[in-house]
Amino acid sequence: MRSGEIESRPVALADRAVARILAETTSDETIYPRVLEAIGQTLDWELGLIWEAAPEDGPLTCVDVWYSPAAGDGAAQFAAASLHTVLASGQGLPGQVWASGEASWIVDFASHTEFPRAARAAATGMRSALCSPVRSAGGILGAIEFLSSRTREPDVELLEAMASLGSQIGQVVERRRAESRAQDAGERHRAIVDAALDCIITVDQSGRVLEFNPAAERTFGYSEEDAIGRDMGELIVPPALRERHRQGFARCVREGQGRLVGTRIELTGMREDGTQFPVELTITQIDVPGAPRFTGFVRDITERHEAEAELKASRTRIVEAGDEARRRIERDLHDGAQQRLIALAANLGLTKATMGDVPEATRLAIEQAHEQSLAALADLRALVRGLYPAVLGHRGLDAALSGLVAHATLPVRLRVDVAPRCAPGIEAIAYFTVSEALANIAKHAGAGHAEVTLRRSGQRLLVTITDDGRGGASMDSDGSGLRGLDQRARAVDGWLRVDSPAGGPTTITMELPCAS
């Protein structure tokens, strides 16, 4: 799929809309309704609610609601009944999400009669609900909830997106709570800097540290007194990156712009003890009279990287477990049912050849049984090959795909250059991608021929499948097997792209790591 198509997805649109609202809105009274409306309208939910937790682990309170004008009276009634509702930890869907810290999806409120608002949901026609924690680095601040009168099945991508949106909202909530505690204008700046969960480091035009907040002290290990007056590059940038940092900063001072200014970038930071760790950095120029000053907002993203690595590992384990299950079923069928069918076919064939003078009806029955046993054996062998071809494990992609192409219903040109072999899980993904693509071409493309190319480029495996059919293939099509192939590729840090204009030709490209 093209990058432009990915960026136009409703989830991506909702993320950008919320980020824009959080950045531009200054009124606390309007930020929640605008956020709820942006998410609800973009992701097609009829009703949205924001729940906030009182300090010191107090109860959850519904502090704001939004509903679509087109949703009807049911959504308005449920919104009115929910506003200012108070829930304890673990009570109802928001209470459970607050207690667990995990997003949750309810397909049908009717199956959750224990929820305090279940009866009201039934009376107003609300059926499905999605709820995600509003989170900051300091903990869970509340929950954001959306409801629909339609039955909606769980969507993993949407749950992950809501977790990200909840974190964005949580950071804003946390920051604004800190602002509300600062009454005096002179104290407000210091209060925000001191309460910020991100490191805030202000430097002058020469890169000397002017301000080093408590979060920076905790993250980098220096006290404010030790940091003030020192060169920021010497303080927190690894030696190998310092010259590059100085050149970029000099360009910021000279031109007032550069890659570092106004954008979030990931870099490597260094603590006082020399240990290095991943950080997210945003630098802004402070609009003050005199010499320019810059403030860097730095966030330790070690936990994010670890979570991403664990998510990738878990997806890989799921793919590997599925492939192992395929191999086990293939072995069981080959060693069990297939062998019994072979024996049955052999016995029937022997009986057919030696039965002598028997009634015609008996002869016909034996001949039909023999033919049916051979047909069942052929079907079982095809099923076994489709589950997990034994030749793939024994001889690799070249041999396995040669057998697949030999059974194709249209001419296919195959070129394979993948020595040395890739990991078994990667080979399985490549094989089933080609298998699915050729099946789709045969069923839907109206193609005269196809080409399949696999080649190894360093530590990456490149798979290309082309056909001269009518085109129009898309991962967004209902029932598209391409979406499943894309998910399998992404589970191992690969990708899949489909280029299929109307009228053809169609090209499917997949890139996979050679090691899983």
Nearest to 483 by CA among 433, 443, 412: 433
Q: Which DSSP symbol is given to 54?
A: P
Nearest to 248 by CA among 278, 298, 283, 293: 283
d(CA 44, CA 39): 8
Torsional sign, CA 178, 183, 189, 190 = negative
Radius of gyration of the CA atoms of the chain, in A: 31
Q: In what order do the strands lie in the sheet with 264-270?
A: 209-212, 199-203, 293-300, 276-286, 264-270
**Span 295-342, pLDDT tens digits:** 888 888 888 877 777 767 666 666 666 666 666 665 656 566 666 767
d(CA 145, CA 134): 10
The most distant pair of C-alpha atoms in the chain lies apart, rounded to whole Å, by 115
pLDDT value, residue 466 = 95
d(CA 40, CA 280): 29
Name the region of 311 (left: φ>0; alpha: ψ -120 to 50; beta: rest).
Answer: alpha
pLDDT value, residue 350 = 76
Nearest to 298 by CA among 372, 203, 418, 374: 203
Q: Which residues share a beta bridge with 48?
A: 66, 146
**Span 68-127, pLDDT tens digits:** 988 889 999 999 999 999 999 899 999 999 999 899 999 998 888 889 988 899 899 999
Structure tokens at 31: 């930020």
pLDDT value, residue 1 = 37
Q: What value does the mean pLDDT of the chain take?
A: 82
pLDDT value, residue 374 = 77
Q: Which residues share a beta bridge with 295?
A: 202, 284
pLDDT tens, the chain, 516 aa long: 333 343 447 888 888 888 888 878 777 678 888 999 999 999 999 999 999 988 767 789 999 999 998 888 999 999 999 999 999 989 999 999 999 989 999 999 888 888 998 889 989 999 999 999 998 877 888 999 999 999 999 988 888 888 888 888 888 777 766 665 544 445 566 667 777 788 888 888 888 999 898 999 999 999 999 999 998 888 888 998 888 888 888 877 777 665 566 677 888 889 999 999 998 888 887 776 677 788 888 888 888 877 777 767 666 666 666 666 666 665 656 566 666 767 776 777 777 777 777 787 887 887 788 788 777 767 666 665 555 677 787 888 999 899 888 888 899 999 999 989 998 888 888 988 998 888 889 888 889 999 999 999 989 999 999 999 998 888 776 455 788 788 888 888 889 999 999 998 999 999 999 986
- Give the three-state DSSP class for 299: strand
Contact between 149 and 71 under an 8 Å Cβ cutoff? The reply is yes
**450-457 and 139-148 beta bridge pairing:** unpaired
214-227 burial by CB neighbour count: b if 16+ within 10 A, else e?
A: bbbbebbbbeeeeb
Contact between 341 and 376 under an 8 Å Cβ cutoff? The reply is yes
pLDDT value, residue 419 = 87
Q: How many other CB atoms are found less than 10 A from the CB of residue 276?
A: 13
Structure tokens at 302: 């070690």
- Give the three-state DSSP class for 161: helix
Cβ within 8 Å of residue 60, ≥6 positions away: 51, 52, 53, 86, 87, 88, 89, 94, 95, 98, 142, 143
Name the region of 131 (left: φ>0; alpha: ψ -120 to 50; beta: rest).
Answer: beta
pLDDT value, residue 385 = 56
pLDDT value, residue 364 = 82
Torsional sign, CA 453, 456, 461, 462 = negative
pLDDT value, residue 460 = 93
Contact between 134 and 141 under an 8 Å Cβ cutoff? The reply is yes
Q: From the centroid of its chain, how far is CA 130?
A: 17
d(CA 363, CA 369): 10
Structure tokens at 487: 């998910």
- Give the three-state DSSP class for 261: strand
pLDDT value, residue 506 = 93
- Give the three-state DSSP class for 59: coil
Structure tokens at 216: 């920076």
Q: How many other CB atoms are found less than 10 A from the CB of residue 453?
A: 15
Nearest to 215 by CA among 273, 146, 135, 279: 279
Structure tokens at 99: 């207690």
Total residue length of the chain: 516
Q: Which DSSP symbol is given to 273?
A: T
